[in-house]
Amino acid sequence: TQLLEQSPQFLSIQEGENLTVYCNSSSVFSSLQWYRQEPGEGPVLLVTVVTGGEVKKLKRLTFQFGDARKDSSLHITAAQPGDTGLYLCAAIRGGYNKLIFGAGTRLAVHP
């Protein structure tokens, strides 16, 4: 059982559609991060959410941290082929900056 459960595992949609991916846990986190990984590259940080209930926007991407700080969602409006990639949520667990990841959501946006 993973500490961070992401859903769905795979998502294949047409350009222009909206989508939401989720990151859930039974644990409480002081913050949660979202990364995007493109093929052949390492993950790149998109956003960090810190406060329960917080909403952050990054162009067409909207990130929300659950009120209880156990879950987070990423909503993409009018998806574009450039949004294709692996979306990973991550959180610090324990001391020493131990950054753990969920299994990710693989998103494919078709023209």
Partner 1 sequence: DTAVSQTPKYLVTQMGNDKSIKCEQNLGHDTMYWYKQDSKKFLKIMFSYNNKELIINETVPNRFSPKSPDKAHLNLHINSLELGDSAVYFCASSPLGGSSTEAFFGQGTRLTVV
Q: Least distance (Å) from partner 1 to the CB of residue 64?
A: 16
Residues that bind partner 1 (rule: CB under 8 A) add up to a total of 26
Query: Does 100 participate in binding partner 1 (rule CB under 8 A)?
Result: yes
Contact between 26 and partner 1 per CB under 8 A? no
Min dist CB 16 to partner 1, Å, is 26
Say if residues 61 and 80 touch (Cβ distance below 8 Å): no
Q: What residues numbered 35-94 form the site for partner 1, per CB under 8 A?
A: 37, 40-45, 48, 50, 86, 88, 90, 92
The DSSP line for the chain is: --SSEEE-SEEEEETT--EEEEEE-SS--S-EEEEEE-TTS--EEEEEE-STT-EEEETTEEEEE-TTSSEEEEEESS--GGG-EEEEEEEE-SSTT-EEE---EEEEEE-
Name the residue nearer to partner 1 (CB basis): 13 or 46.
46
The residue within the footprint of partner 1, chosen from 54, 101, 107, 109 (CB under 8 A), is 101
Q: Which residues are at the interface with partner 1 (CB under 8 A)? A: 29-31, 33, 37, 40-45, 48, 50, 86, 88, 90, 92, 96-101, 103-104, 106
